[in-house]
Structure 1
Amino acid sequence: MIFKNRRTLISHRNSIHLNVTFVCDFKDCNKSFHTKQYLNRHKNDVHLNRGKERHCFWPKCQYKTTIKGNFIQHQLLHSDNKQYKCDVKDCDKSFNQIQGLISHKNYIHLNKKRLKSNELITNEYIHCCYPNCDYKTTNKHHLKQHKITHSEKREFKCDFCDQSYKRNEQLVHHKNVIHLNNKKFICDVNECNKKFARKRDLVFHKSCVHLNEKPFKCNEGNCGKMFAKECILNVHKRIHSGEKPFVCDVNGCNASFKRVSHLSQHKSNVHLNKRLIKCDFPDCKQTFKQTNHLVAHKNRVHLKLRFVCDFNDCNKSFVDKYRLFQHKNFVHLNESKFKCNEENCGKNFISNSALIVHKRIHSGEKPFVCGFKDCNMSFHKMSYLTDHKSTHLTVKQFKCHYKDCGGSYASNRYLQRHVRYVHKK
């Protein structure tokens, strides 16, 4: 074997041929290294705290290291100077790090996927061993990362609130979006200006919303819906099959859901009763379980922000943009694909889930039953059950914000009904 410098040659000899190791003599450490230089660096950085930490100067970037080379490479991530250009014909891609260029060539042009620098991936899939999980990959690292989703361990805890996560990137994303409001990736298409905390979210937004790149099509019945990712298509297909593979295991609940995110939301809302996200406006003590609920609260109560329909002098206003979007499609553009086939009904709905809920009116089905003692009331919508459950509670945390009113209610829906009938007559 031939080496570029003497240090790596010595390290190779010590580790492979001579089996020489240098052991750290600090108390209860006993870490071993192939060269004395690595041992000294370990002592300085870990035990003597002599490693001068270099902190990234980019706003709100928390990266820090004691190694100069790593720090220089990290700074290139923030740089707009993409000096490494792909030399393949008709490819204009450029990168700010050499590793990015090598990875691009391997994946895009050479169709190589690597586990390590010297180990090529084969076409043999590695399957997840957990029951009812269809995940498969050719990359061992990806499989290892996927298995974390099945684990209950949440080692990465937020130092702003009580939330914890299975992966560090999930924690960083949570901090950026919820606490630091760090959304540095801005969509520049047609003055959209929508902000994202992660670059991949911006790329996904551009491809789906502006470029309409949705290559995965649902072939069930007369559906034909298009999706940007295969995993989203697979989740969508559960609407047709009725499959709900994610089952709640808390106190014999056994509620099942189509998505693992819905199961997590169910656990936090119903069993753990978490209300983690607090409104940051002065003198407002409202807390919410979901970010979109917080945004809607701010728009409605503090910012008085309304989204107004501009079709033919309609001027109907809504609290959030999604409601306006639904209104335009359903009322003005008549984009309601789901029609009730019950006799003398014929109502149209913008989504299949809304149609399913509506059909319970005809069938009389009320699957959502109140579990409070001696109550047993049932409802055809989950939101109605949630509102009803709040009537059993003595705490009425939703207070009317109109001056000199003082009304308080057990649920937000009851508060909105009060505002609509009492203050906006």
Structure 2
Amino acid sequence: MFKTSYVMKDHYKQFHTTHKPLKCPHMGCGQSYLNRSQLEAHVVRHATDRPFICDFIGCDKSFKSETCLKTHQRIHSSALTVKCTVEGCSQRFQMYYHLNRHRVIDHHFRRPKRLRKTPVKDIACQWPGCDYKACNRWQLTHHQNIHTDERPYVCDWPECGKRFRRPTALRDHKNIHNNVKPYACHWPGCQYRCCNSGNARKHFKLVHQK
């Protein structure tokens, strides 16, 4: 029962009508909504897309820019490209993060702000019975898609139309259509390549971790 006819009509429009005139302008999405507030809340999700994916076997991290990706990939490289600038010190590191730790511990520099705090998972999922906590809204949004089964990312390949919860999953799926295999096995001498990070991890475990 509803308190007023207005509340009932609003409920009907939100849950029992298929007419949703406001379409998401994001390419390849296809979601539509009844009112502008719903649309705006949805569009915000696209602003958190991370299209640059690490192709190192066993790593599926993604980033908003190519610069961030390249910085991350130094973790997987044996090249020590970041040199300590303190006079008389010849230490080199893969990452600026490791350099900063070295400067704090060995040279008694003031600790950079980004090293002072460990990310805290304090944003709780409100779904009944779920105790998941996220570090940020981006993590929480993608986690909640598991509960709602919302799949806002649609493949625009002719006659396909498959939907996905994450933009990275859609991107990997499109690799199949385009016959693109960006994920390379980094095991010495192995030429294996594949379309998605899941197959890359399976290959590594089955072939190289026996």
Greater radius of gyration (CA): 1
Higher relative contact order (CA 8 A, sep 6+): 2
